[in-house]
Structure 1
Amino acid sequence: MAKQTYFVAGTDTDVGKTVAAAGLLAAANNQGLATIGLKPIAAGCERTEEGLRNSDALLLQNTASINLPYEQVNPFSFEPPIAPHIAAIEENRMLSADRIAALCRGALMQPADFAIVEGAGGWRVPLSDRETMANIPKQLKIPVIMVVGIKLGCINHALLTAESIARDGLRLAGWIANAVSPEMSCYKENVATIATMLRAPLIAEIPFLENPSPENVAQYIEIDKLQTL
């Protein structure tokens, strides 16, 4: 496994997990680190000649410095943009944290310095009736980077997610504030409140960007602030 491997979790869906994850990879690339990006579960995929493809997974694949086959980056692909466990039921497939973690470990055997495993949706998105997305980083025993979409309700979502991460016995290595709307009122006050109430370091404030490319996002990320112990 990479020297630094993190699970990127969001406080909700559409908070910018992939924008942040790709930015993290680009920031690590800029430091000369060998990087891997994985998105083991993805819904909302498009049918192509090569099979189902997800734009978020493709972005991670193309941003990472180590080129992995798509099937290693995104082994569980679903076409409808719905909750993964529902999509799996509709296709008579089963999502298992053991299986997903094993596939991630296989991909992470590549010699790398920095690796990202991006979740889907929020921390408690179900995999089945018995497991949630949280079981994947628990199986992998890796710390978490939390992405907070700064919008109304973000303080509550951030604190509840951080509490759940701690309750699950995992370390919150850092968090990212992502401005998902250009019209968010009291932006600074919301970020300051979360920063005051969390013990983890704020490693990035990503402003609202018209072109949130990995390189554009990377300039706002300070990966050296991540808690590595």
Structure 2
Amino acid sequence: MMGRSYFVTGTDTGVGKTLVASALIHLHAARGLRTGGMKPVASGALRQDGQWYNEDVQALQAVANVALPAALVNPYLFRRPTAPHIAAAEERRTIDLDHLARCHAQLQAACEMLIVEGAGGFMVPLDRHHNSDELVARLGLPVVLVVGIRLGCINHALLTCQAVEARGLTLVGWVANLIDALEDQADAMIESLAQRLQAPLLGRLPWSPGMTAAQAAARLTWPDPA
């Protein structure tokens, strides 16, 4: 039996997708589910002991309670920290959606719960003709939206929600992540989003550099209690 799978996207890059994805893995693993993570495409690699790695991918693997092949967890790793289609073109590589779908199916078969973290925003390009939202639609994944609370986030969140709905997908919930320590209208922004987004607020993460997945998980709720 295939496990359940959810896609974590954000209103932009750098809004805390990896923290939330890791927290969701921790949350479900703590409930006794075989839980893993996937980062289909990652841009930005570091080299250590002769191997290239990505910090986001390592964060997902660190909280998973099932050992999964690295080649499935992160099928495409690019060295430059830029948009995936640009990084792929620079390395003369092509992101194959069929390959990503096969990797996802294998991971889903090995897990009871699989959390898939996107790269950048919901519609980040993967090549000249395909965006990330096409992959999510192909896999049919419900979406969790991470909203980085800062000026402009309301517009970005509403547009992302429209894009999710346009693909026939379900927004199962959203997380408010306070990424700007100087933002004095955070409460008003979150209230406005709660009034406009037709999905539950799963949690609010305070400005806290260095927050762990466990600490973030303690602040999240989940609409499907496994």
TM-score above 0.5: yes
Instruction: Quote the offset at 1:48 in angstroms.
Output: 2.7
Q: 1:150 to 1:118 in 2, by over 3 A?
A: same
Q: Return the alpha-carbon distance in structure 1 between the equivalents of residues 85 and 191 of structure 2.
A: 35
Deviations 1:80-123 (A, max 9, x none): 1111111111111111322212221122220x222101100001
Q: Return the alpha-carbon distance in structure 2 between the equivalents of residues 24 and 203 of structure 1.
A: 11
Which residue does the alignment assign to 2:189?
190
Which residue does the alignment assign to 1:173?
172
Q: Is the 8 A contact 1:96 1:128 kept in 2?
A: no
Q: Is the 8 A contact 1:203 1:226 kept in 2?
A: no
Task: In structure 2, give the amino acid aligned to 1:181.
Answer: D
Q: Is the 8 A contact 1:150 1:177 kept in 2?
A: yes
* 1:147 corresponds to 2:176: no
Q: Is the 8 A contact 2:172 2:200 kept in 1?
A: yes
Instruction: Quote the offset at 1:3 in angstroms.
Output: 3.6
Q: 1:89 to 1:56 in 2, by over 3 A?
A: same
Which residue does the alignment assign to 1:137?
136
SS of 1:134's equivalent in the other structure is helix
SS of 1:176's equivalent in the other structure is strand
* RMSD, aligned α-carbons: 1.6
SS of 2:132's equivalent in the other structure is coil
Moved over 4 A (4+): none
Which residue does the alignment assign to 1:162?
161
Which residue does the alignment assign to 2:214?
215
Which residue does the alignment assign to 2:100?
100
Which residue does the alignment assign to 1:61?
61
Q: Return the alpha-carbon distance in structure 1 between the equivalents of residues 207 and 224 of structure 2.
A: 22
Task: In structure 2, give the amino acid aligned to 1:73.
Answer: V
Structure 2 residue ranges without an equivalent (≥5)? none
Deviations 1:141-160 (A, max 9, x none): 11111110001100000000
Equivalent pairs, count: 226
Q: Return the alpha-carbon distance in structure 1 between the equivalents of residues 3 and 38 of structure 2.
A: 15
Q: Is the 8 A contact 2:3 2:108 kept in 1?
A: no
Which residue does the alignment assign to 2:77?
77
Structure 1 residue ranges without an equivalent (≥5)? none
Task: In structure 2, give the amino acid aligned to 1:12.
Answer: D
SS of 2:94's equivalent in the other structure is coil
Q: Identity over the aligned pairs, expressed in percent?
A: 38
Instruction: Quote the offset at 1:4 in angstroms.
Output: 2.6
Q: Return the alpha-carbon distance in structure 2 between the equivalents of residues 33 and 194 of structure 1.
A: 31
Task: In structure 2, give the amino acid aligned to 1:221.
Answer: L
TM-score (norm 1): 0.94
Q: 1:89 to 1:227 in 2, by over 3 A?
A: farther
Q: Return the alpha-carbon distance in structure 2 between the equivalents of residues 70 and 51 of structure 1.
A: 12
